[in-house]
Structure 1
Amino acid sequence: MLWDTHMHSQYSGDSDAPQEDMIRAAIRAKLPGICFTDHLDIDYPDNPEAFLLDLPNYTSSVFAMQEQYRDQISVRYGIELGLQPHLAALHADILSQYDFDFVIGSSHVVHGYDPYFPPFWKTHTEEEGYREYFESILENIRAFDDFDVYGHIDYVVRYGPTRNENYTYARYSDVIDEILRLLIEKGKGIEINTGGFKYGLGHPNPCEEILARYRELGGEIITVGADAHAPEHVGFAFEKVPQILKDAGFIYYTVFRKRKPEFIKIED
């Protein structure tokens, strides 16, 4: 009975799923609530318009879905911002104009490249690419912190040359710990993103060791999302989540309403 608070619809540049189809999938899965978090990635490399979110129409659609399905499921209004340091003022201006329930800050672009695409890996070894990705997260947080959680902190391992075959938290613990401490200092959370299971990693993003380390350092805010871009992936692998969170030391998970955290006990 977990909320899925990271999902995309036809308003994201990488999805064509109608919002209504995503909601119906969540109802079939008996989820108590969801939050749409469609992509806004300004200044995306090579194709700057690829992830520009039509905010007026997106907003109207989410509000219409909230009303239409209010007796069946809670539908909340969020956004996933693709962070880059030079976009900080622009992101702040956008957030001042829209009353989101939930804001995910994410790293998709690293110094002008998305690790999803091969060109990034032509100029980086796997270890160099992973480390630069984590270091770019620190740059983003220091430039802009008006988000609620940082999304899929080890997103980069989905697309590395050997993905997570040679990846461990321990190898990058110096920079990852700095990220986690900075997030905790600023009162920000992280998410457990089950997209890692969908991508065949056998682990969530971030991996279990990072989840446990965040909790060990004093972090309390953790949201749950499948990063679904199609109805069949809503709530993907959620049956694994309660035990992973408990093993990491969490008693509660978090949902947001009007940018305020609500803590929900993790059931057995």
Structure 2
Amino acid sequence: MEIYDCHLHTTYSKDGKSTLDEMCGRALALGMHAITVTDHNEPDTPGFPAYEHIRQSVAAAKRKNEELGGRLQVYAGVELADQFIGGQDPAPYYEMDLDCILGSIHSTKMYSAFFPDHTFGSDLLQSAQKADMDFLKKFVEAYYSELRKTAEKADVDVIAHLTFPLRYINGRANRGLDIAEFYPLIDQVLAAVVKTGKALEVNTSGMATDWKHFMPDEDILKRYYALGGRFVTTGSDAHRAENLGVGIPEAIHMLQKIGFTHGSYFVKRKRFEYQF
């Protein structure tokens, strides 16, 4: 089984814990075919200018790919977040020699409207634990409204971690939010992914935690398939080398069961396929 991990973060991301060398060493040890380095374009904070770190990340990935000489394909990407809700201007990133652009809603600004104490990497969990369920549902509705815009309008290749709010609301705060209540909104996002020819990510980061869920899970992937969606990527969203690739073989088995026969990856922003 060929393993492509198309979503990972290194120390070029503010919350990354492992270097690119450590990530590549782990990928080689696991016998992976390819990784795509997708460091964050946010937050842009004093002492950590995001654009400069992404520029360095892309250059490092290109160098590492040459250094490894085909033993591991290392592609250069970026995770562009919050394009329509006051995030960084994405224009400068399109001038980089990128292989893949992930589109996501990390929603630091949107989260702050709902969770005033939220800071990057902290406090959201505490807020998710404290908030009443009606409040959390309004937040999730706003999330899918913004993600639909990203799927419809953003110049990105992949829609990442579709059910991202559940990582905090259910995975860490254990609130038991029923995502099925939002299927009509999710279907709008999925339809936009299909219409625009983007790929949908199966994010496996939950498999490295006690939560043990994919983002999205099987039921939503079945809905995507029924709508005609066939383009999927797999990504561990690893911020530490030990989490690289976790859950991807299981995700591939799930996708095969649904009917998917190929995975996608991107080189110079052109989609390629490999057989599951």
TM-score higher than 0.5: yes
After superposition, the Cα gap between the structure-2 partners of 1:127 and 1:89, relative to the gap in structure 1 and judged at 3 Å, is: closer
d(CA) in 2 for partners of 1:167, 1:86: 24
Report the Cα offset of residue 132 of structure 1: 2.3
- The 5-angstrom pairing of residues 212-251 of structure 1 reads 212-251=222-261
SS of structure 1 residue aligned to 2:76: strand
**Matched-pair identity in %:** 26
Q: Which amino acid aligns with 1:206?
A: P
Q: Which runs of 5+ in 2 are unaligned?
A: 116-121
After superposition, the Cα gap between the structure-2 partners of 1:49 and 1:224, relative to the gap in structure 1 and judged at 3 Å, is: farther
Which residue, 151, 162, 179 being the options, matches 1:153?
Answer: 162
Corresponding residue of 2:96: 98
SS of structure 2 residue aligned to 1:21: helix
- The 5-angstrom pairing of residues 104-143 of structure 1 reads 104-109=102-107, 111-113=109-111, 117=124, 118-119=126-127, 122=131, 125-142=135-152
Corresponding residue of 1:3: 4
Report the Cα offset of residue 55 of structure 1: 2.9
d(CA) in 1 for partners of 2:109, 2:11: 27
- The 5-angstrom pairing of residues 165-176 of structure 1 reads 166-176=176-186
Corresponding residue of 1:12: 13
Report the Cα offset of residue 60 of structure 1: 2.1
d(CA) in 2 for partners of 1:28, 1:189: 28
d(CA) in 1 for partners of 2:252, 2:6: 15
Corresponding residue of 1:75: 74
Answer yes or no: is 1:25 the counterpart of 2:26: yes
CA contact (8 A) 1:35 1:76 kept: yes
After superposition, the Cα gap between the structure-2 partners of 1:170 and 1:164, relative to the gap in structure 1 and judged at 3 Å, is: farther
SS of structure 1 residue aligned to 2:89: helix
Q: Which amino acid aligns with 2:38?
A: T
Deviates more, 1:76-85 or 1:155-164: 155-164
CA contact (8 A) 1:40 1:51 kept: no
For residues 182-205 of structure 1, the C-alpha deviation after alignment (integer angstroms, 9 at most, x for no partner) is 111111111111102123222201
CA contact (8 A) 2:22 2:241 kept: yes
SS of structure 2 residue aligned to 1:125: helix
CA contact (8 A) 2:87 2:109 kept: no
Q: Which amino acid aligns with 2:222?
A: A
Corresponding residue of 2:59: 60
- The 5-angstrom pairing of residues 172-211 of structure 1 reads 172-211=182-221
CA contact (8 A) 2:14 2:43 kept: no
Give the superposed CA RMSD. 2.5
Report the Cα offset of residue 104 of structure 1: 0.3
Corresponding residue of 2:118: none
TM-score (norm 2): 0.85
SS of structure 2 residue aligned to 1:113: helix
Which residue, 256, 260, 263 being the options, matches 2:266?
Answer: 256
Deviates more, 1:198-207 or 1:111-120: 111-120
After superposition, the Cα gap between the structure-2 partners of 1:62 and 1:131, relative to the gap in structure 1 and judged at 3 Å, is: same
SS of structure 2 residue aligned to 1:35: strand
After superposition, the Cα gap between the structure-2 partners of 1:50 and 1:249, relative to the gap in structure 1 and judged at 3 Å, is: farther
After superposition, the Cα gap between the structure-2 partners of 1:112 and 1:242, relative to the gap in structure 1 and judged at 3 Å, is: closer
TM-score (norm 1): 0.88
d(CA) in 2 for partners of 1:153, 1:26: 25
